[in-house]
Amino acid sequence: MNEEFLSKLLQDVKDGNTDVDKALQQLRHLNPGELGFATIDTHRELRTGYPEVIFGQGKTPSQVAEIIAFMLERKNNILATRVTEEMATQVLHVCPDGIYNPVARTISIRRQEVTTPSTYIALVTAGTSDLPVAEEAAVTAEIFGNRVERVVDVGVAGIHRLYNKLDIIRGARVIVVVAGMEGALPSIVAGLVDKPVIAVPTSVGYGANFGGLSALLGMLTSCASGISVVNIDNGFGAGFLAGMINRL
């Protein structure tokens, strides 16, 4: 899969530095860490430039702790999302310098310095109830080496609140907009800037919101250009992608 690696391996075989069996083993080599219940993607950082992130939901607290314990050996920065308090307790036992953010429901463990570019991500939130999702995005972007500027509670029912913050938004390299209900804020923002807008629908609302469906459909069908959408409540996905774009 990695041409340089293959090229070198074949040269080694040719030069007799590696015999066929070993080479064969190495071709099967990219051996992820196996924990029985999980197969850690240990070379994802090499492949994609980013370490694997632990998605807590659906795992038992001890599974989360064990995975993190395994990853700690590799000295990477670590991010776990959808972390319950019970999980956090177990993890912090294993790794006392981990930071649990109960709003974002994340654990961050910093082991490496990541250089942060001077550009920043604007993180725009429609309402107070969208904050947990927004905070997950912020924590994610930050651990991967990005500055985040927050613009809070500027939903379309009082759209002038947004105009007051246009400088911050227009100054960003990429913009994350988090909104529930009708999810109209990304359309407005995208109509005012010339930067990529990552829209995050949230499940905030009731009735015909149908668990975030109204905001999701609204964002997908936006009449404005320059918008793309991540899953409902997927703060992590938006923060990760925004960081990727910010660091291009």
Which residue intervals of 73-211 are DSSP H helices? 85-94, 131-143, 160-163, 166-170, 185-190
d(CA 226, CA 197): 6
* Selected binder of a second copy within 76, 90, 108, 203 (CB under 8 A): 203
Closest CB to a second copy among residues 87, 97? 87
CA–CA separation, 13 and 210 (whole Å): 59
What is the distance between the alpha carbons of residues 243 and 147, in angstroms, rounded to a whole number? 9
Footprint (CB under 8 A) of a second copy, residues 135-194: 152-161, 163-164, 166-167, 173-174, 180-184, 187-188, 190-194
Min dist CB 63 to a second copy, Å, is 6
N-terminal to C-terminal alpha carbon distance within the chain = 23
Between 81 and 97, CB nearer to a second copy: 81
- The nearer residue to a second copy, 88 or 214, going by C-beta atoms, is 214
Per CB under 8 A, which of residues 9..68 are in contact with a second copy? Answer: 10-11, 13-14, 16, 19-20, 23-24, 27-28, 30-32, 34, 36-39, 41, 43-44, 47-50, 52-53, 55, 57-59, 63, 67
| Nearest distance in Å: CB 108, a second copy | 16
Nearer to a second copy, 69 or 245 (CB): 245
Per CB under 8 A, the segment of 70-78, 84-92, 104-112, 195-203 that binds a second copy is 195-203
Site for a second copy in 220-239 (CB under 8 A): 220-234, 236-238
